Structure 1
């Protein structure tokens, strides 16, 4: 499965999430060895996380 990384690798310190893809550092670290099922679970969480990060940026 393709990584959601888009080369905007900056961690939002309060949330601990990457502002480029929405993953946590632990999710980024495990991506290469994660099962397809685990990767799908991570991917499913990203839209909501990115929306929250976007809301924070607009404040």
Structure 2
């Protein structure tokens, strides 16, 4: 079953999934390299939390 517009799929045995990325309209803001790196670090940290990784 497809659950996200980016093509992510899950099987029926998955109870709950959380999409940790954010939706931002393209072209509105020109993000700095520093801001992009920090957002990627945040997404990685949230993904680890969601998966129960320490």
TM-score normalized with structure 1 length: 0.40
Structure (1/2) with the larger helix percentage = 1
Structure (1/2) with the larger strand percentage = 1
